[in-house]
Structure formats: C-alpha cells, structure tokens
Amino acid sequence: MTTCDEIKTSGGSSLSRMVRLLLFCMMQGAAVILVGFAALFLSFEPAWPAEKPSAILAGPGDARSGSLLLKTDDGYADATRLGIDVDLTVSGPTVRARVTQIFRNPTPNWVEAIYVYPLPAGGAVDTLKMVIGDRVVVGEIKERQQARIIYEQAQRNGQKAALTEQERPNIFTNSVANIGPGETILVQIEYQEAGAAVGK
C-alpha cells in the first residue's frame, strides 16, 4: 500500500508541475500580446484618415479623380472619401453615366470646398445633386457670371450652395459653401457622352 501511495504522489507532482508550466507560458503569452497592443496604440498615429484631411494639393487641376478638396491656408486637401457608386447605361451610340460619391469634412471647422470631377472628352453634365448634411442642393444651369453672383450671395448669407464651372475642357469644378464640422456631403452627377469610342 505504501508503494501505491508513492506512485500517486509522484504522478500528481509531475502533473502539477506541467500545469504550472503551462499556466506560466499562457500568462507570458498574454502579457506579450497586451504589451504589443499597448505599443501599437501608443506609438503610432491612426492609419485611418478620420482625424485630418490628406495631402495638400496645389489646386483643382491636380485632382485625377472625383475629389472633394477642402480649402486650406496652404492650398487644398482631400476630404475623407466614404464611398462611390457608378452606374452606366448604354443606349445606341450614347453612354449615360451617374456617379455618386460620399465625403466627410474631417475638420472641426466650417469650410468651403471644391468638388472636382474629370469627364471623358465629349462628356456633358446635365444633372447635379448634392446633399450637404440635411440640405439638398439641385443644380440649375445659369449664365456663368449670373451663377457666380448667386453663389457668392448664398455664401455670404451662410446658406449651403454649390457652383459648377468648367475648369478646362475635361475638368469641371463645383464649389460648395459652408460645410459644417464632421458633415457628410453626397454628390451625384449625371453626364452623357457619344459612345462611338466604347466599341473600339
């Protein structure tokens, strides 16, 4: 009977050491993971662009895709892009495109911005809609000088307004006044172009 007791005791002791070793390794692993996460969050700035606009651009002509450029003291900076949707309809020789983009003002300031969108050669915009916060702006075609006067008056009055102009043959710009801090901006344009080049 003494021999059996010794075997049970020595087996339990070996098992106890194994459990302790296993617990020690698990605790060390958990400590390393926690220190790693703490270092990650303390050492680096956020990888997402939620805090500030991205790179400074010299002007609207530098944009290579549909972009919302926030006016800054140094030039322009890209607003945070939240999403894009493109719908193309081909009807005979004509292509009709509807482009919808959503942006956010990541700054704590009220800002003026310019929405820039390049068009294919021969493209003509015929519809513009913008939703700025809870306001809806629908584009109307006016003579250039008259449109500029209406936009500047709305801007002075603190109204949300937009002005679309042709920057150069395939770049159109849309000025947007009084975008609030953290406010979202949905821009939807529709344009048509001759589709002869599509089949080639």
C-alpha span between 20 and 28 (Å, rounded): 12
pLDDT of residue 103 exceeding 90: yes
**Of the candidate ranges 42-51, 130-139, 157-166, 167-176, the one whose mean pLDDT is the lowest:** 42-51
Contact indicator for 163, 147 with CB cutoff of 8 Å = yes
Confidence bin at 11 (pLDDT 50/70/90): low
**Of the candidate ranges 58-62, 169-173, 181-185, the one whose mean pLDDT is the lowest:** 58-62
C-alpha span between 62 and 41 (Å, rounded): 34
| Cα distances (Å, whole numbers) of residue 146 to 31, 49, 64, 123 | 67, 37, 29, 24
**Of the candidate ranges 45-49, 66-70, 80-84, the one whose mean pLDDT is the lowest:** 45-49
C-alpha span between 72 and 192 (Å, rounded): 33
Bridge partners (DSSP) of residue 23 are none
Q: Summarize the confidence of residues 81-103 as an average pLDDT.
A: 92
SS percent in the chain: helix, strand, coil, step 5: 30, 40, 30
**Number of Cα atoms under 13 Å in the Cβ half of residue 76:** 20
pLDDT of residue 2 exceeding 50: no
What is 65-122 written as a DSSP string? Answer: SSEEEEEETTEEEEPEEEEEEEEEEEETTEEEEEEEEEEE--SSS-EEEEEEEE--TT
Residue range 35-51, pLDDT digits in tens: 555 554 444 433 334 44
C-alpha span between 13 and 53 (Å, rounded): 62
pLDDT of residue 126 exceeding 60: yes
Q: Summarize the confidence of residues 194-198 as an average pLDDT.
A: 58
User: What is the pTM assigned to this prediction?
Assistant: 0.59
**Of the candidate ranges 19-23, 143-147, 185-189, the one whose mean pLDDT is the lowest:** 143-147
Confidence bin at 124 (pLDDT 50/70/90): confident
Residue 133: its pLDDT value, please? 83
C-alpha span between 138 and 135 (Å, rounded): 10
